[in-house]
Amino acid sequence: MTDTQNRPVGLLDSGFGGLSVTRAVRAALPHEDLVFAADCGFAPWGDRTDDFILERCGRLVEFLEAKNIKALVLACNTATAVCAAPLRARLSIPVVGIEPAVFPAVRETETGVVGVIATAKTVASAKYGKLAAEALAWAKDARGLDVKLFSQGCPGLMECVERGDFEGEETLRLIEAYVAEMRAAHADRIVLGCTHYPFLSDAIARAVPDAELLDPAPAVAQQLVRRLTEEGLLRAEDGHIGSAEFFATGADAARETVLQALWPGKPTLHELP
């Protein structure tokens, strides 16, 4: 085992949504040490300019680099859409991003109707537009199916999770507004295109009871496993129990309470300098 293999994996998000990915990474790699950084004090990113997102994401990456990480996971669809390419060009470590699970949705749909719920920034991004076009073209060529795709930006939902409001009146009202058209069109696959939304999956499932929800987090974790394996960076399974540290801008008691609702063991939330 080398010192490099013992270094932690860094994960970042605009807020606590990235914990859904971190949870999947922990399940896939229980022996790896993890450092999670969230920009809660400046969230959400989904309605910000690219320059703002690049600057804030860059701050988180600098912090994680100082933690001597061996790989970086962009546990944020917005950050992946805006920042993945420049970060891969700059960093010498593996950079794993996340994107909405549109291809699995068009492969699996039986009604030919698919919904994607995401941030406005993700839905409007060129990266998402290219992904959606390629997935629809694949469905036409491979399945002979003209899939109807609903791409819905969802202002406000991320903030519900950040407040720890998973079932409140405002949360349920927003979910209903965003999925009503998909439900009426008989969508049978709903892509959770923001890492915050898996924490709302119970409420979303009730709003669209005939649809399967697709969360890309497990696929991100498996991609991280592949990249660490390819680079010889996997930590040896020697009985070490992986640790997890959590940092955020704007860390306070209220945000720590939300973190503890989303991660077992009552973790401490540290202020991100």
Binding residues: 13-14, 77-78, 195-196
From the CB of residue 243, how many other CB atoms can be counted at a distance below 10 Å? 10
Q: Which residues pair with 269 in a beta bridge?
A: 246
Catalytic residue numbers, as ranges:
76, 194
Q: Point out the annotated binding site for substrate.
A: 13-14, 77-78, 195-196
Owner of token pair 């209220």: 254
Q: Identify the burial level of 91 via C-beta atoms within 10 angstroms of its C-beta, where 0-12 means exposed, 13-18 middle and 19 or more buried.
A: middle
